[in-house]
Amino acid sequence: MTRLSVNINKIATLRNSRGGNVPDLLKVAADLQSFGAQGITIHPRPDQRHIRYDDALALPGVVTTEFNIEGNPIPKFIDLVLQIQPDQVTLVPDAEDAITSNAGWDTIKHKDFLVEVVSEFKSHDIRTSIFVDPIEKMVEGAKNTGTDRIELYTEVYAQNFKKNPEIAIAPYKQATLLANDLDIGINAGHDLNLENTAFFVKNIPNLLEVSIGHALVSESLYLGFENVIPMYLQRLG
C-alpha cells in the first residue's frame, strides 16, 4: 500500500492569518495521525509565511509516524533539518517568493550541488528524496546524485486528468519504469486529490508515498479530517 503523508502547511496558513494559535498546528498533526495518516509533511520557507521554524522544531514531539521536511536546501534549511533529524528530507528547487512549488530539479545541471547536499543528509541517516518532473533524463540524473528516492511532481497530471487520464499519466509511467529499473524509490505529490489519486496509484508501480496537503485540507472543510483520511487510504490501498 502507498503511504499517505499529510502536508499541514495550509493549517499553518490559516493560523497565521489571524495570529494566535488557532487552529493548533500540533494538535492537528496529532489528530491526523490518529485518523490514519501515515506521515506528516511540512515545507518551511524563508519568510515563514505558513510553517515557522519553531513549528518544525516542535513537531517531533507529536509526530509518531514519519516526519518529512520539504524545502530548498539553502544553508538555513540544511541547518534546520540537521537539527531536527526527520525521517525524510525532500529537496525542492522553489524560489523564495514562489507561492507553491512549480517545477522539479534539473538534476543534470545541478548534479554537483545535489550530490553534496544528499551526501550531507545521508551521512546523518536522513533518507533523501529529490523533487523531479516526469522526465526520464531527470530521473536518471537523480539516481546519479545518490538520493534514496525521487518525488514525482504531479501538477501536470492533475491538470490534465479530467481531459484524458491515459495521456495525463503516460509520462509518469515512463519515468516510473526507469526509476524501478534504477532501483530508486518513488514518492509523488502536488495537486493530487480524492478524484485523481486512485488512478495515479493504480498506474504507478511501487509508489511508496504520496504527500497531499492543499486538496486534502480543502476537501476536509466539507467532509472533515476524520472522514477524509480513510477515504484517501482506501484509494491508496
Which residues are identified as catalytic?
Answer: 43, 70, 190
Task: DSSP for 29-61, please give it.
Answer: HHHHHHTT--EEEE---TT-SSS-HHHHHHGGG
Please state whether the peptide bond connecting residue 86 to the residue before it is cis, i.e. omega within 30 degrees of 0.
no
CA distance 40 to 56: 11
Q: What's the full length of the chain, in residues?
A: 237
How far, rounded to the nearest angstrom, does the alpha carbon of residue 120 sit from its chain's CA centroid? 20
∠ CA 10-13-19, rounded to 5°: 145
Q: How far are the Cα atoms of 49, 148, 212, 213 from residue 177, in angstroms, in the given order? A: 37, 16, 23, 26
Backbone angles phi, psi at 3, to 5 degrees: -85, 150
How far, rounded to the nearest angstrom, does the alpha carbon of residue 119 sit from its chain's CA centroid? 20
* SS3 state at 171: helix
Where do we find the cell 522553489? 94
- DSSP label of 206: T
Paired residues of 210 in beta bridges: 4, 188
